[in-house]
Amino acid sequence: MLTVRDMKKTVAFYRDTLGFELKEAFPDKENPLWANFVMDRQSIMMGGVPDPERASEMGCGAEDLEYWRKSRALFEKNAPGVGISVYITVPDIDKYHADVKKRGGKPLGEPKTQFYGLRDFRIEDPTGYTLDIYSPVKLASCQSCAMPLADAKPGQMYCQYCAQPDGNLKPYEVIFEGTVTGFFMGMQKMNRQDAEKAAREHLAKQPAWASKAFAKKR
C-alpha cells in the first residue's frame, strides 16, 4: 500500500494509463480515500495523505489521531517514493510499453533486457513512486560462465554447472575451479598456470562476477 498526494490523479494513472482495474474503493470510486488496483492477480493499494481532522469521523481514537498527525508531517517533509521500487509483471513488455505510450504514459526509457533474466522499463506515478514493469525472458548464455542456455526457462540466469539445485549461483571458487579444469585445461589443453589466468579474465567479464571485487583481484 502506497500513500499518494492526489487520489484522483492516481486513479487516472493506474486505471487509464497503466491498465489496472479499480477493484475496490472507499468511500466510493468517484472520491476515494483508499483504492485497490488489480492487474493479472497483482494488487497495489493506494491511500490519500492522512487527514488528522477526518480521523475522528472514521472512528479513530486519540492514539490513532496522533499517528495520523505524525504520518502526515513526515510525508510532507520527505520526498515520497525515494528508495522504493514496485515491480509489476506483464506478459509482453514491449507491447505493454507501446500501449502505455499510446495512452499518454511517459516511460523512463525503452525496454531493456537485463542480465538477471528480466526485460523491463521504469515509469513514475503522479506521486513519484518508481514502477519497474517487466517480463521474464530467455537468456542466450549463462551469466556466470557464458555457456549457451539452449533449453533455458524465462528468467533463468545460470547453466546446470553454475547453479545449485535451488537455482542460486554456486560460490566463485567452485565456478573458478570448474572453468580452469573443465574448460581451459580439459578442452583448451592449457597448463594449470595459463588456465587459471585465462579463467580469471574470462569470469571477470561475465555479469555474475564483473562487479565482484574479489573475482577481479584473484
How far apart (Å, rounded) are the C-alpha atoms in residues 169 and 42? 28
How far apart (Å, rounded) are the C-alpha atoms in residues 211 and 203? 11
Instruction: Please tell me the predicted confidence (pLDDT) of residue 212.
Output: 62
The CATH number of whichever domain residue 10 belongs to comes to 3.10.180.10
Q: Which helix (H) or strand (E) holds 2?
A: strand 2-4
What does the CA dihedral 16, 20, 24, 28 come to, rounded to 10 degrees? -10
Instruction: Please tell me the predicted confidence (pLDDT) of residue 214.
Output: 47
Domain final position from 135, 170, 203: 135
Low-confidence ranges of the chain (pLDDT < 70): 52-61, 212-218
Full-model pTM: 0.80
Domain extent, residue 145, equals 138-218
Q: Are residues 119 and 144 in the same domain?
A: no
